[in-house]
Amino acid sequence: MSEKFLKQPGSTGSEDDVEAKAITETNVQVEPQHGGAHIVDEHEENDLSRSLSQRHIQMIALAGAIGTGLFLSLGGALQDGGPLGALLGYLLVGLVVCAVQFALGEVSALFPVTGSFVRHAELLVDPALGFAIGWNVVYGTYLSIPSEISAVVVLIGFWTEKLEALWITLFILVTFLVGIAFVRFYGEVEFFFATLKILLVTGIIIMGLVIDLGGVPGQDRIGFRYWNNPGPFVEYLASGSWGSFVGFWAVMNNAVYSFAGVESLSVAAAETKSPRQNIPKACKRVFARVFLMYLSSVLIVGMLVPSNDPSLSDDSGTAAQSPFVTAATRAGISVVPSIINAVVLTSAWSSANQSLLAGTRILYGLAIKGQAPKFFLKTTKWGIPYWCVIVQTLVATLAYMSLSNGALTVFYWLLDLTACGTLISWSAILFNHIRMHQALKKQGISSKELPWSNRWTPYSSRVALGACILFLLTGGFSVFVKGNWDTATFISSYLDIPIVITAYLGWKLFKKTKFLSLDEIPIQDALDEMREKPEELIPPARGWKRLNVLWG
């Protein structure tokens, strides 16, 4: 694997020589030679504040990726696929996420714009694709905030079911205040919650090992007992080897849902310090940490809880649903449920905060390109697109629908429309990356000129794109099994696909956009802009800072 940060084409000296050369050239102004187009818009350059550091964006991505999917959904994966089926399912989706993260890092380093892969689609594929993907993400993030706030109320119900409307009002207000404040304040809030989640996951893994190895007084050593009985796989919707494979494949939906959020790492690229260095670093490190934590958690759960345990069918939405709680309860540890419920509660609220950041910044990016009303471009004096935040907060009041059973049903139907949005976003990221490398080849530009590149990513993106399309098309396969039809599952699995296609074709016909030829993709403009406005090099970690395993 070949990796580099801001190396100059043709550099062959040592790392120190490269850094010295880059620092020497920070005052050199290079005029764009390819039409003079500006990749980073003047609104982003002048109106937003570059206040997020590497530790912020890494922990924001961690906070988004480690959420209710890990704490509550592993039970469903274990029940459908068995301990080995769940582990293999998360491993396969994790490898796809690796390809997505590296593709996102390479493209974002070259095009560090607000809106991330949505704006990349306009620069690399077709403005109509950016419109369709962008509004799909905005719709999904806007509805996810009331969804997460409703989840917060359910989690509070683990302790008390009183004053539900008051709790909804409080969390909407606090979410608004975090969204309208300095973006650095948002970064610090997410940094704190991500740290809580990492500590909890680490503690759970250690607790699981202690329980499994017989470290709890009065408890026998478990080992891999449940891999033998009831077995490593579960027969799902069929019998025999085919049933075991179907059970393994059923894990994919849970795994995709669990990993959702890692793609939002670069949506605030224009508000990140030195994005061409920090975003690629974050992409690498966030993936490694999330991947290891998920695989470790899936392995531990599969060792501690049998796949046929009745508690795995719990759908309360509270800590009682977590297989970690089941494992602790079986071991006689009573304090764990409340601890997990408290951290899952912060996870739900943290996810609402992240959805607000992603939704507002992508809407801001759409407004920059004339694909959303221009008033969304207005920012506070500290660089926050306040109309984007206000509108998203108003949509958050849909959380009050959860107080009525009938209204809650309608609300979840609305939410189901975006359930496959994560796979559509991942597919867009991978397609953007493939197009970038095709344009490099067509225009005769070496990938070594990119601010960050890897030799294997052009191939991994193609394989991962095929996998994402396969996951997308088979996401609702269970409804096609005789006697297993479910309208809500079909809608959540497939309806978003024609919505995105309709939005793409509608904008294309309305604005008469065209699919960009490889020669038109502004690779050279982006390289010229990178040299014209070089970033200050980030010094390598020294001393005790090298021991930092979270964001260093």
Residues 165-168: contacts with CB within 8 Å, 24+ apart?
165/400, 165/403, 168/399, 168/400, 168/402, 168/403
- Report the amino acid identity of residue 174: V
The identity of residue 300, as a single letter, is I
46-55 residue pLDDT tens = 667 777 777 7
Buried b (16+ CB within 10 A) or exposed e, 333-350: beebbebbbbbbbbbbbb
The answer to whether the CB of 372 falls within 8 A of the CB of 366 is yes
Structure tokens at 516: 């960009």
Look at residue 324 and give its three-state secondary structure: helix
Residue with tokens 């609305």: 414
Contact 153, 164 (CB under 8 A): yes
* 438 in a structural domain: yes
Report the distance separating Cα 541 and Cα 243, nearest Å: 50
Is residue 409 a part of any domain in this protein?
yes
Q: Is the peptide bond before 230 cis (omega within 30 degrees of 0)?
A: yes
Instruction: Specify the residue for token string 């690498």.
Output: 284
Is 299 domain-assigned? yes
Instruction: Give whichever of 2-6, 15-19, 104-108 has the largest mean pLDDT.
Output: 104-108
Does residue 337 contact residue 246 with C-beta atoms inside 8 Å?
no
The CA distance from 234 to 307, in Å, is 8
Round to whole Å and give the CA distance between 201 and 204: 5
> pLDDT tens, 427-464?
999 999 999 999 999 999 999 999 988 999 999 999 99
Query: 202 in a domain, yes or no?
Result: yes
Q: Cα(326)–Cα(341) distance, rounded to whole angstroms?
A: 13
- pLDDT attached to residue 28: 37
pLDDT of residue 5: 39
What contacts 258, CB < 8 A, 6 or more positions away?
Answer: 65, 69, 70, 73, 74, 90, 294
How many whole angstroms separate alpha carbon 469 and alpha carbon 264? 20
∠ CA(101), CA(466), CA(60), 5° rounding?
A: 20
Tens of pLDDT along 87-126? 999 999 999 999 998 999 999 999 988 888 999 999 999 9
Question: What whole-number distance in Å separates Cα of residue 497 and Cα of residue 500?
Answer: 5
Encode pLDDT of 194-221 as tens digits.
888 888 888 888 988 998 888 888 788 8
Spatial distance between the Cα atoms of 25 and 537, rounded to a whole number of angstroms: 11
Which of the four pLDDT bands, split at 50, 70 and 90, describes residue 3? very low
Helix, strand, coil proportions of the chain in percent (round to 5)? 70, 0, 30
Does 8 map to a domain?
A: no
* 533, part of any domain: no
The contacts of residue 166 (CB under 8 Å, 6+ apart) are none
What sign does the dihedral 97-538-358-177 (CA atoms) show? positive
H helices of 213-322, where?
225-228, 240-259, 275-304
Q: What pLDDT does 278 receive?
A: 82
DSSP collapsed to 3 states, 446-457: CHHHCCCCCCCH
Q: Does a structural domain hold residue 552?
A: no
∠ CA 467-472-477 to the nearest 5 degrees? Answer: 110
CATH of the domain at 285: 1.20.1740.10
pLDDT in tens, 118-152: 999 999 999 999 999 999 999 888 888 888 888 78
Asked whether residue 21 is assigned to any structural domain, the reply reads no
Number of independent structural domains in the chain: 1
pLDDT of residue 430: 97
- Interatomic CA distance for residues 301 and 314, integer angstroms: 16
Q: Which of 362, 525, 515 is nearest to 435 (CA)?
A: 515
Contact 280, 105 (CB under 8 A): yes
> Is the pLDDT assigned to residue 316 strictly greater than 90?
no
Contacts of 104 (CB under 8 A, 6+ apart): 116, 117, 263, 265, 266, 283, 429, 433
Q: Which residue in 324, 353, 350 sits closest to 338, CA to CA?
A: 324
Find where tokens 């069929």 sit.
238
Task: Quote the domain boundaries for residue 272.
Answer: 52-516
Better-scored residue on pLDDT, 550 or 376: 376
